[in-house]
Amino acid sequence: MKKMIALGLLACIFVTTVTAQKTSEKMLRHVVLFKFKDDASAAGIKSVEDAFMALKGKISLIKDVEWGTNNSPEKINEGLTHCFFVTFTNEKDRNDYLVHPAHKAFVEILKPYLDKVVVVDYWAKK
């Protein structure tokens, strides 16, 4: 029984330490907002969504990626409908991502449908 309690305590300490390390780790966020052309088809927009999400499997520098569509009731999005949120470890990884062949190929998929893009990068602070 004492061994079980000791193992449980060690497991708790390990999880707490790992969690603390993860939350204190610096993260570079790359936020990309898209407004699509009025005549962009649903299939075309879906191809952009899929291509963006496929970048994580093609570019190991990406630590995490998520996306969603605007649903703000404030109506001040200026036509921007899609938000892609990419996490990098450092600026070098972000910079290398921007010139990576897979990212450049994605941009070519995006171009026919894109009306406007806004990009903001920042260091996450807790």
Q: Go through the domains of the chain in sequence order and give each one's CATH number.
A: 26-123 (3.30.70.100)
Q: Give pLDDT tens digits for 21-67.
A: 455 578 999 999 999 999 999 999 999 999 999 999 999 999 999 99
- Stretch 85-101: mean pLDDT: 98
58-94 residues labelled b (16+ CB within 10 A) or e (exposed)? ebebbeebeeeeeeeeeeeeeebebbbebbbeeeebb
Please give the helix or strand (H or E) that residue 32 lies within, else none: strand 28-36
| pTM summary value | 0.78
